[in-house]
Amino acid sequence: MEAGGVADSLLSGACVLFTLIMYSTGLSDLRHMRMTRSVDSVQFLPFLTTDINNLSWLSYGALKGDGTLIFVNATGAVLQTLYISVYLHYCPRKRPMLLQTATLLGVLVLGFGYFWLLVPSPEARLQQLGLFCSTFTISMYLSPLADLAKVIQTKSTQRLSFSLTIATLLTSASWTLYGFQLRDPYIMVPNLPGILTSFIRLWLFWKYSQGQDRNYPLLQT
Half-sphere exposure of 76 (CA within 13 A, CB side): 29
pLDDT at residue 56 in the model: 93
Interval 87-99 mean pLDDT: 90
What does the pLDDT read at residue 215? 42
pLDDT for residue 80: 94
Q: How many CB atoms lie within 10 A of CB 42?
A: 23
Residue (of 4, 5, 106, 19) closest to 61 by Cα position = 19
pLDDT score, position 59: 93
Give the number of other CB atoms < 10 A from CB of residue 37. 8
> What pLDDT does 118 receive?
85
pLDDT value, residue 3:
56
Q: To the nearest whole number, what is the mean pLDDT of the chain? A: 86
Choose the weakest-confidence range: 69-78, 96-105, 178-187: 96-105
pTM: 0.85
| Residue 32, pLDDT above cutoff 50 | yes
Q: Within 13 Å, how many C-alpha atoms sit on residue 148's CB side?
A: 17
Q: At residue 212, does pLDDT exceed 60?
A: no
Q: What is the DSSP letter of 184?
A: -
Give the mean pLDDT of 74-86.
95
Residue 50 has pLDDT above 80, yes or no: yes
The more confidently predicted of residues 212 and 175 is 175
**Percent of the chain residues topping a pLDDT of 70:** 92
pLDDT digits (tens, 9 = 90+) for 128-173: 999 999 999 998 888 777 777 788 888 888 777 888 889 999 999 9
Nearest CA-CA partner of 97 in 106, 107, 87:
87
